[in-house]
Amino acid sequence: MTTADKQILFACTQNAVRSVMAKGLFEAKSYSTPGRAVSCGVIDGPLDGFVVAVLQEKGIDVSKHEAQVFDALNPANFDLIVSFSREAEDKARRWANEGCETLFWDVPPPHTNERSRDTTLKSYRQIRDQIDRLLTDYFAL
């Protein structure tokens, strides 16, 4: 893989919410080449249905996402890792090859409210929109 072919890795704790959103949003940008973005977690977790719902609102389908972990990937394939949790940031810094840029974007996990689906969806939408702004600002998309 040449430098031009290197990928971006979005990482969080379970590869279920923030990293999935970031990959989906990044790939939805018209200038993103297919396969340029990957997402993973420190551990794998089930895909979060609220993530699927709020990304579908933007026309992005992540319903086929399958969680993966750092150790299933080759660090040589990445030139940038964006982490959304301190656990992922710590793992990324230890795991990344020399010369790979590692960033931490402080996006809090969602707040769930078992009594109110609307309140929970609002929290997920805020995360989606925050990640979208961060992507746009960083990549000047």
Does some domain include residue 140?
Answer: no
Does some domain include residue 96?
Answer: yes
Position 53 scores a pLDDT of: 97
pLDDT exceeds 70 at position 110:
yes
Question: In the beta sheet, which residues pair with residue 39?
Answer: 10
Does some domain include residue 42?
Answer: yes
Q: What is the pLDDT of residues 12-22, one digit of tens each?
A: 999 999 999 99
Position 112 scores a pLDDT of: 86
Position 114 scores a pLDDT of: 82
Does some domain include residue 38?
Answer: yes
Across 49-64, average pLDDT:
97
Position 49 scores a pLDDT of: 95
Structure tokens at 22: 């970031």
Does some domain include residue 139?
Answer: no
Across 51-70, average pLDDT:
96
pTM: 0.92
> How many domains would you assign to the chain?
1
Residues of the chain with pLDDT > 90, as a percent, come to 82
What mean pLDDT value characterizes the chain? 91
CA angle 51, 32, 64 (to 5 degrees): 35
pLDDT exceeds 60 at position 141:
no
Instruction: Reduce the secondary structure of the chain to three states and give it as a string.
Output: CCHHHCEEEEEECCCCCHHHHHHHHHHHCCCCCCCCEEEEECCCCCCCHHHHHHHHCCCCCCCCCCCCEHHHCCHHHEEEEEECCHHHHHHHHHHCCCCCEEEECCCCCCCCCCCCHHHHHHHHHHHHHHHHHHHHHHHCC
Instruction: Reduce the secondary structure of 70-95 to three states and give it as a string.
Output: HHHCCHHHEEEEEECCHHHHHHHHHH
Does some domain include residue 68?
Answer: yes
Does some domain include residue 36?
Answer: yes
CATH number for the domain that contains residue 39: 3.40.50.2300
Structure tokens at 94: 């230890």
Mean pLDDT check: name the lowest of 11-25, 42-56, 75-89, 105-119: 105-119
Enclosing domain of residue 99: 3-134
> Which amino acid does the sequence have at 5?
D
Position 1 scores a pLDDT of: 40
Does some domain include residue 141?
Answer: no
Determine the Cα–Cα distance for residues 26 and 16; give it in Å rounded to an integer: 16
Q: What is the pLDDT of residues 116-134, one digit of tens each?
A: 899 999 999 999 999 999 9
